[in-house]
Amino acid sequence: MTMEKWFSLVGCVVDVIYMSKKGKFTKRRIRVLSVRDGYVRAFCIDSGAQRVFLAANVLAAELVSRNVS
């Protein structure tokens, strides 16, 4: 996914499949908070904590809901 696409998802809830630095695959539901320098800062709804994702390691992303504010 391009960084421009990530910018358009700030405030949205997105399901992602992510590969960690150690090669582990995880599926998470996140609310995108910000995008900067190739990283996506998000609130992980599954864990209830903020996380930072390397955008290049997001293998798939699906929009769940748009920001309504």
CATH number at residue 10: 2.30.30.100
Q: The domain containing residue 19 runs over which residues?
A: 3-65
Closest CA to 4 of 65, 69, 55, 42: 55
- pTM value is 0.88
Residues 6+ apart with CB under 8 A from 65: 12, 13
Residue type, 68: V
Provide the domain count of the chain.
1
pLDDT, tens digit (0-9, with 9 covering 90-100), for 6-55: 889 999 999 999 999 899 999 999 999 999 999 999 999 999 999 999 99
pLDDT at 35: 96
